[in-house]
Amino acid sequence: MLKTFIQLLGDDAPVFRRYCAMALAYGVLSGLTMTALVLALGRLLAADTGGAALWLLALLAGLVACWAWRRQVEKAGVRVGVTILQGARQRLGDHVARLPVGWFTPDNTAKLGHVITQGMMNVAQLPAHVLTPVICGAVTPLVLLAALFALHWPLGVIALLALPILAGALRLTAHLGQRADDAYHRHFASTSQRLVEFAQAQSVLRAFNGEGGGTRFLQQAIDAQRHAGTRLIYLSALSTVLNAWTVQAIFAALLAAAALWLNTLLGGAAGTGDAIAVIVALLLVVRFVDPLQEVASYGEVLRGARGPLDAARDIFAVQPLPAAAVPQAPRDGAVELRGVGFRYAQDQADVLTDINLHCAPGSMTALIGVSGSGKTTLVRLIARFFDASQGAVLVGGVDVRHMSSEQLAGQISQIFQDSYLFQGSIADNIRLGKPDASDAEVLEAARQAGVAEIIARLPQGLDTPVGEGGARLSGGERQRIAIARALIKDAPILLVDEATAALDAENQAAIAEALARLRGKRTVIVIAHQLSTVAMADQIVVLDGGQVREQGAPAQLRARDGLYAHFLAQRQAAKGWRIASAAPQQ
């Protein structure tokens, strides 16, 4: 827990260390002040006014010092909280920004959102509200322990034994609630995810989920979260009660020992001094148990804060892709895969096996294969979303692991299957590929990608807002803008994951034209679904079950009665079907 705190604070960790040292000192000071109080009372009861006055003076000084020091500790705690709010989010963000793009799954993104918002708020409040009483509550009894030993060693022994017993009880109850807490946080993240889905995918939910389908998944997630929450509340209450009982049992044991001591004293020839010692010991026992009570009552709050801290720790534990010590610049637009194998997780099967592929600069390679054959994964490896598990991916003759992420990013433009457009105008979205592009450059890229026809139809032209995620445009229009964005970024390699959805003839032609224009100018690697695209390629690679089954020029493959010939026959049949079904309307 402390380690994660220090990790979250990074360079600001001394702020936290200073605060801890101050809280520890406060605990010692409180312990000493309480001892002075007890001793002053002892002297008073013994009618030693001189001694009592001295201890009272010490007590007064202790009280003033405690009051002043406590204020400093609280200020230091608030400073830690503010530093966490200001710096830890930034630190998490900086770390996440260096993680492989493949890390950003919906699950991880939801977890990150939860930690950065609510989680960091909870953690920031810890020092001022919880850690101060807990640290003091743990240190003060240690000081009083010495006084108890000095007064009557059996009491000291019981008090000494009580500390590990309480620590054990706290651990046990923390363990009890931990799983419930984990479950609650898991359901919380899942509900957040469902909530976003609910807002974004209403049409799909309503169309496919039957009556009440629009809310079903969200409702299920909320129900699961409520169950987990109720369980957590029950277990938390039980833990608090168990912790409190442990402290009460310690108190009872100490009282019983004191009573036994009194009994033996009464049995023998006890003097006033002995009676006073018992009273003083009882007072010490009360002061000893009080801070422990406080520690016990905060046990649950502390455990509750572990959730976000553990989540932050897990995020920090994800290693960014290793950076090259001496980055090498790529030489040209060539792409090569040498014996590449890949699996998404250690315990999963290989998704790609022994892939060997060479794409010469300026050539066009079409990747084809059934769904799940590993096409997207292969392209992701070229863009270094992940590192290959075996073999090497070379871009411009250099292993992608030996170049900086900027060098690699500068070498590659990408067009994804589901191109995301950012809120803003069409021009803003195109300019993302080259922020300092002039208006003329934006227009030229728009023209090349077939966006010119779209903007000619729109009253605001290039300045037309695309809506969130490009919601105001059709799928084909979105893809064309994404192509313009990729074209304006003048990178030697273009990776394209072509839309699977059958595009209308106009969009299909615009995209094919844009790709055709790039022939010989850029190395294009395209996951092709349209026949027109496949026909343009210099080389075709057929993937099946994560392996290259066929590879060669289109004419060469067509001549074979293999997977490619089969793919062609299927596509042509589909095309024929579309033309035939359209014919009667003409």
**Binding residues for Mg ion, per CB under 5 A?**
376
- Output 69 or 416, the one with its CB closest to Mg ion: 416
Q: Are 494 and 415 in contact (CB under 8 A)?
A: yes
Residue among 87, 66, 46 nearest 132 (CA): 66
Distance between CA atoms of residues 492 and 331, nearest Å:
11
Q: Which does 330 bind (CB under 5 to 8 A by kind): ligand ATP, Mg ion, none?
A: none
Distance of closest approach, residue 378 Cβ to Mg ion, in angstroms: 9
Q: Which does 306 bind (CB under 5 to 8 A by kind): Mg ion, ligand ATP, none?
A: none
Distance between CA atoms of residues 169 and 56, nearest Å:
37
Q: Tell the residue number behind the tokens 């009464």, with chain if given.
A: 266
Q: Are 290 and 244 in contact (CB under 8 A)?
A: no
Q: Which does 192 bind (CB under 5 to 8 A by kind): ligand ATP, Mg ion, none?
A: none
Distance of closest approach, residue 551 Cβ to ligand ATP, in angstroms: 16
Give the CB-nearest residue to Mg ion.
Answer: 376
- Output 241 or 501, the one with its CB closest to ligand ATP: 501
Residue among 351, 247, 328, 242 nearest 292 (CA): 247
Query: Cβ of 203: how many Cβ atoms within 10 Å?
Result: 9
Residue 90 structure tokens: 């930034």
Distance of closest approach, residue 417 Cβ to ligand ATP, in angstroms: 7
Give residues with Cβ within 8 angstroms of 124, minimum separation 6.
80, 81, 82, 84, 85, 88
Residue among 353, 136, 160, 169 nearest 248 (CA): 169
Distance between CA atoms of residues 487 and 449, nearest Å:
8
Q: Which does 371 bind (CB under 5 to 8 A by kind): ligand ATP, Mg ion, none?
A: ligand ATP
Strand partners, 396: none
Q: Which does 413 bind (CB under 5 to 8 A by kind): Mg ion, ligand ATP, none?
A: none
Distance of closest approach, residue 511 Cβ to ligand ATP, in angstroms: 17
Q: Which does 372 bind (CB under 5 to 8 A by kind): Mg ion, ligand ATP, none?
A: ligand ATP
Residue numbers of the site for ligand ATP (CB under 6 A)? 344, 351, 369, 371-377
Q: Which does 377 bind (CB under 5 to 8 A by kind): Mg ion, ligand ATP, none?
A: ligand ATP
Q: Which does 153 bind (CB under 5 to 8 A by kind): Mg ion, ligand ATP, none?
A: none
Distance between CA atoms of residues 182 and 224, nearest Å:
13
Strand partners, 393: 337
Q: Please state, in angstroms and as integers, the Cα–Cα distance from residue 507 to each residue in 338, 475, 512, 516, 557, following that order.
A: 36, 9, 9, 14, 28
- Output 373 or 539, the one with its CB closest to ligand ATP: 373
Direct distance between the N- and C-terminal alpha carbons of the chain, in angstroms, rounded to an integer? 72
- Output 367 or 400, the one with its CB closest to Mg ion: 367
Distance between CA atoms of residues 537 and 524, nearest Å:
9
Distance of closest approach, residue 136 Cβ to ligand ATP, in angstroms: 48
Distance of closest approach, residue 344 Cβ to ligand ATP, in angstroms: 3
Distance between CA atoms of residues 568 and 537, nearest Å:
14
- Output 109 or 376, the one with its CB closest to Mg ion: 376
Distance of closest approach, residue 207 Cβ to ligand ATP, in angstroms: 21
Q: Which does 373 bind (CB under 5 to 8 A by kind): ligand ATP, Mg ion, none?
A: ligand ATP
- Output 185 or 375, the one with its CB closest to ligand ATP: 375
Distance of closest approach, residue 526 Cβ to ligand ATP, in angstroms: 12
- Output 172 or 204, the one with its CB closest to ligand ATP: 204
Q: Which does 351 bind (CB under 5 to 8 A by kind): ligand ATP, Mg ion, none?
A: ligand ATP
* 391: alpha, beta or left? (left if phi > 0; alpha if psi -120 to 50): left
Distance of closest approach, residue 101 Cβ to ligand ATP, in angstroms: 11
- Output 375 or 522, the one with its CB closest to ligand ATP: 375
Distance of closest approach, residue 414 Cβ to Mg ion, in angstroms: 13
Q: How many CA atoms lie within 13 A of 415 on its CB side?
A: 31
- Output 376 or 404, the one with its CB closest to ligand ATP: 376
- Output 188 or 567, the one with its CB closest to Mg ion: 567
